[in-house]
């Protein structure tokens, strides 16, 4: 029996096809590598952030439990991986949730201060001083609020929020009469 040249080419193509399919099947069939603990922690943070964002959009009522789980995930990640570049960002998000959502200003201040003192390379470090001043203002602790805001202005005079810090200081120093006059004029406008 004589093998023709064309049959030889078809046989080669068939072998290549079978090998290609076998290779693809083996790649497809391999079990996925398990995630590292750090990847699992980041995945947990991402999942909770997404759930929390969806709950804020879809519900009129704040899901306090979900907010706390999200904050906890941020704090655990930063505690477990303090040198990771995401740690100061996650801590900042935790502090902002305490500050703006749960209205727990003392916890927010503690975290803002921790970020400022322990993450000198954090690109948003300057705002940690401003936010401390803002949180102290919310607690009606004008002495600490003014001190933090003055430190912010002195340390970052060209910052976009330096004018806001000065305005907040002026506002905190208004007397009761000046406040009444200020808000009375605002209502008329």
Residues composing the chain: 189
Label residue 180 left, alpha or beta by phi (over 0 means left) and psi (-120 to 50 means alpha): alpha
pLDDT digits (tens, 9 = 90+) for 70-113: 999 999 999 999 999 999 999 999 999 999 999 999 999 999 99
| pLDDT beyond 80 at 185 | no
Mean pLDDT along residues 178-187? 68
pTM of the model: 0.76
Residue 67 vs residue 2, higher pLDDT? 67
Tell me what pLDDT residue 114 has: 98
Residue 36 vs residue 2, higher pLDDT? 36
Tell me what pLDDT residue 27 has: 55
DSSP string across 61-93: S--HHHHHHHHHHHHHHHHH-TTSTTHHHHHHH
List CB contacts of 100: < 8 A, sequence separation 6 or more: none
């Amino acid at each position: 029996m004589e093998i023709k040249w064309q049959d030889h080419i078809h046989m080669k193509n068939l072998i290549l096809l079978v090998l290609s399919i076998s290779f693809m099947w083996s790649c497809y069939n391999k079990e996925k590598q398990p995630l590292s603990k750090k990847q699992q922690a980041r995945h947990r943070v991402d999942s909770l952030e997404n759930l929390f964002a969806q709950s804020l959009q879809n519900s009129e009522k704040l899901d306090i439990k979900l907010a706390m789980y999200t904050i906890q995930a941020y704090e655990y990640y930063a505690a477990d991986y303090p040198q990771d570049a995401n740690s100061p960002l996650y801590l900042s998000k935790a502090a902002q949730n305490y500050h703006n959502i749960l209205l727990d200003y003392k916890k927010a201040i503690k975290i803002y201060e921790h970020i400022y003192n322990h993450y000198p390379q954090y690109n948003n470090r300057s705002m940690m001083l401003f936010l401390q001043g803002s949180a102290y203002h919310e607690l009606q602790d004008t002495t600490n609020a003014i001190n933090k805001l003055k430190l912010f202005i002195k340390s970052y005079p060209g910052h976009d929020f330096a004018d806001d810090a000065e305005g907040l200081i002026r506002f905190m120093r208004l007397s009761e009469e000046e406040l009444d006059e200020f808000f009375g004029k605002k209502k008329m406008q």
